[in-house]
């Protein structure tokens, strides 16, 4: 691959991340929910056209190029439609009117509101909560089918089928974007929050891909949560979700060394944590406490706050974190929660206690093939002074991880362990 190709690929990925959701949302705002697929197709074609035309050289303003081409493709589509339906002839009479409308829909504030509107409209009770979340990830988050597949542990074909069935149902049901009280509907809030939480996490998982791209996932989720807080009526769980995101993003840059290596919580330079953002997070958590309903976001934000406020890894209130995880496990049972609880338990009690608990819960079986189970076991065994057994687990972790940076991180653990023994 030439330098230009590499540069182009990265640039396209960045642009896709930043503009796919915006373009699709503005087209959906124009067409209505009956033409989600059309909106997606037009934007997809726009990016394909970019990949082709930019093969030699990138335009001066790539995003302006995308918007222009997308608009033209939409006008062409409308003209084609107009040839079939006499009613939409107006596109010939006033193409500039259409352009103005699209330009207006692309204004920053309009877009944020449109995104929120599309999210709530997609969470219609005729489709399941899982489908609602998947559609938001695809349409607003710009997730690929592959990314969605991983989040939900499904086959690619299954995800495609669920998405297209969902879109069809929404189209056939004639659901409007402009329902009164839309943002106040608490029954739809859960899916919206869940999708934002997943979008944030997709960006936060330290190890994958370009960190600028990842951070843009996180920022997008934060902007939309902020919009939710301002437009969606008061629901303290929104503040909890926001607190959780802010506590984590405050530590975003400290997790990766300049060399690209992963730095785990224990070895992060706490001076690099953004104290201003932590301050905002505390404020949000304070507002979240006004709620009468305890959500998993409250608990996860609480756990993050204990990490952020600890002066060092050793002085973290590990036993309190275990208690939070216990409640979280009751509220939202999962083997991943259990694994994290066991890690906290190893510092609150002992590594031995943690391993006993992991065995009792049969986490190895429940987390079938998840590399972090093996890394955790390895790290616990190092602390227990059992390097041989530790290495077995860590090697297993290397095999199961499918990301270079994670593999390197584990390799380094093994080397450091050997240096010390």
Partner 1 sequence: MKEFMLFIREDINRMNNLSEAEFQSEIEEYVAWVDELSKTGHYVSGDPLQPEGRYILKDSVSSDGPFIESKEAISGYILIKAMDLDQGMELARKCPVFKYGGVIELRPVLKMQ
The span of 168-176, 309-317, 352-360, 412-420 binding partner 1 (CB under 8 A) equals 168-176
65-104 residues near partner 1, rule: CB under 8 A: none
The span of 131-139, 145-153, 177-185, 310-318 binding partner 1 (CB under 8 A) equals 177-185
Question: Which residue of 90, 184, 359, 421 would you call a contact of partner 1, by CB under 8 A?
Answer: 184
In angstroms, the CA 165 to CA 391 distance is: 47
Buried b (16+ CB within 10 A) or exposed e, 339-371: bbbbbbbbbbeebeebbebbeebebbeebeebb
Judged by CB, which is closer to partner 1: 117, or 251? Answer: 117
56 binds partner 1 (CB under 8 A): no
Taking the complex as a whole, the smallest distance from the CB of residue 152 to partner 1 amounts, in Å, to 27
The span of 178-186, 319-327, 385-393, 396-404 binding partner 1 (CB under 8 A) equals 178-186
Judged by CB, which is closer to partner 1: 207, or 238? Answer: 238
In angstroms, the CA 227 to CA 192 distance is: 12
Residue 48: DSSP 8-state: H
175 binds partner 1 (CB under 8 A): yes
176 binds partner 1 (CB under 8 A): yes
Taking the complex as a whole, the smallest distance from the CB of residue 141 to partner 1 amounts, in Å, to 24
In angstroms, the CA 285 to CA 349 distance is: 28
290 binds partner 1 (CB under 8 A): no
In angstroms, the CA 99 to CA 406 distance is: 47
Question: Which residue of 178, 290, 360, 365 would you call a contact of partner 1, by CB under 8 A?
Answer: 178
The span of 132-140, 167-175, 224-232, 282-290 binding partner 1 (CB under 8 A) equals 167-175
168 binds partner 1 (CB under 8 A): no
Q: In 3-state terms, what secondary structure has residue 291?
A: coil
185 binds partner 1 (CB under 8 A): yes
Size of the site for partner 1 (CB under 8 A): 14
Judged by CB, which is closer to partner 1: 76, or 184? Answer: 184
Judged by CB, which is closer to partner 1: 165, or 173? Answer: 173
Site string for partner 1, 121-140 (x = CB under 8 A): ---x----------------
CB neighbours of residue 155 within 10 Å: 10
Taking the complex as a whole, the smallest distance from the CB of residue 124 to partner 1 amounts, in Å, to 8
Judged by CB, which is closer to partner 1: 186, or 368? Answer: 186
Question: Which residue of 93, 181, 258, 360 would you call a contact of partner 1, by CB under 8 A?
Answer: 181
Residues near 390 by beta carbon (within 8 Å), at least 6 away in sequence: 377, 378, 379, 381, 382, 417
DSSP strand E in 104-167: where? none
CA 37-202-13 angle, 5° bins = 60
In angstroms, the CA 107 to CA 189 distance is: 25
Q: What would the 3-class secondary structure string for 274-287 be?
A: CHHHHHHHHHHHHH
Residue 262: DSSP 8-state: B
180 binds partner 1 (CB under 8 A): yes
Taking the complex as a whole, the smallest distance from the CB of residue 126 to partner 1 amounts, in Å, to 9
In angstroms, the CA 390 to CA 376 distance is: 9
Nearest Cα neighbor of 63 from 108, 5, 110, 20 is: 20
- Measured in residues, the chain has a length of 421
Taking the complex as a whole, the smallest distance from the CB of residue 173 to partner 1 amounts, in Å, to 6
The span of 67-75, 173-181, 304-312, 330-338 binding partner 1 (CB under 8 A) equals 173-181
Question: Which residue of 60, 96, 108, 174 would you call a contact of partner 1, by CB under 8 A?
Answer: 174
Judged by CB, which is closer to partner 1: 177, or 263? Answer: 177
The strand pairing partners of 262, in sequence order, are 256
Q: What angle do helix axes 387-400 and 371-383 make, rounded to 10 degrees?
A: 160
Binding site for partner 1 (CB under 8 A): 124, 173-176, 178-182, 184-187
């Amino acid at each position: 691959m030439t330098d230009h190709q590499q540069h182009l690929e990265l640039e396209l990925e960045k642009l896709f991340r930043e503009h796919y959701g915006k373009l699709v949302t503005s087209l959906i705002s124009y067409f209505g929910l009956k033409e989600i697929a059309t909106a997606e197709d037009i934007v997809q074609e726009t990016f394909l056209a970019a990949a082709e035309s930019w093969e030699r050289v990138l335009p001066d303003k790539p995003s302006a190029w995308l918007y222009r081409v997308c608009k033209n493709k939409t006008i062409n589509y409308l003209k084609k439609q107009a040839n079939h339906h006499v009613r939409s002839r107006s596109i010939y009479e006033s193409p500039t009117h259409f352009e103005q409308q699209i330009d207006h829909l692309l204004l920053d504030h309009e877009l944020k509101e449109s995104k929120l509107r599309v999210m709530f409209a997609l969470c219609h009770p005729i489709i399941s909560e899982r489908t609602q979340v998947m559609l938001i990830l695809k349409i607003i988050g710009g997730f690929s089918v592959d990314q969605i597949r991983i989040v939900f542990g499904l086959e690619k074909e299954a995800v495609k089928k669920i998405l297209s069935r969902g879109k069809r149902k929404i189209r056939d049901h004639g659901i409007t974007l402009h329902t009164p009280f839309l943002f106040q509907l608490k029954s739809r809030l859960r899916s919206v929050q869940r999708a934002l939480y997943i979008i944030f996490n997709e960006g936060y998982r330290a190890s994958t891909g370009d960190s600028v791209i990842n951070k843009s996932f996180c920022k997008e989720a934060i902007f939309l949560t902020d919009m939710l807080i301002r437009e969606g009526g008061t629901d303290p769980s929104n503040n909890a979700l926001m607190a959780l995101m802010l506590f984590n993003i405050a530590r975003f840059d400290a997790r990766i060394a300049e060399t690209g290596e992963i730095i785990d919580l224990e070895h992060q330079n706490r001076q690099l944590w953004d104290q201003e953002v932590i301050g905002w997070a505390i404020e949000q958590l304070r507002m979240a406490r006004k709620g009468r309903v305890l959500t998993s976001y409250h608990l996860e934000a609480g756990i993050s706050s204990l990490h952020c406020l600890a002066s060092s890894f050793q002085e973290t209130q590990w036993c309190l974190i275990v208690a939070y995880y216990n409640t979280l496990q009751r509220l939202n049972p999962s083997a991943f929660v259990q694994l994290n609880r066991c890690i906290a338990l190893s510092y609150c009690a002992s590594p031995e206690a943690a391993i006993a608990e992991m065995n009792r819960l049969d986490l190895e079986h429940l987390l079938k093939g998840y590399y972090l189970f093996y890394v955790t076991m390895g790290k616990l065994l190092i602390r227990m002074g059992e390097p041989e057994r530790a290495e077995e687990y860590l090697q297993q972790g290397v095999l199961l991880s499918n990301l270079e940076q994670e593999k390197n991180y584990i390799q380094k653990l093994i080397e450091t362990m050997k240096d010390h023994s």
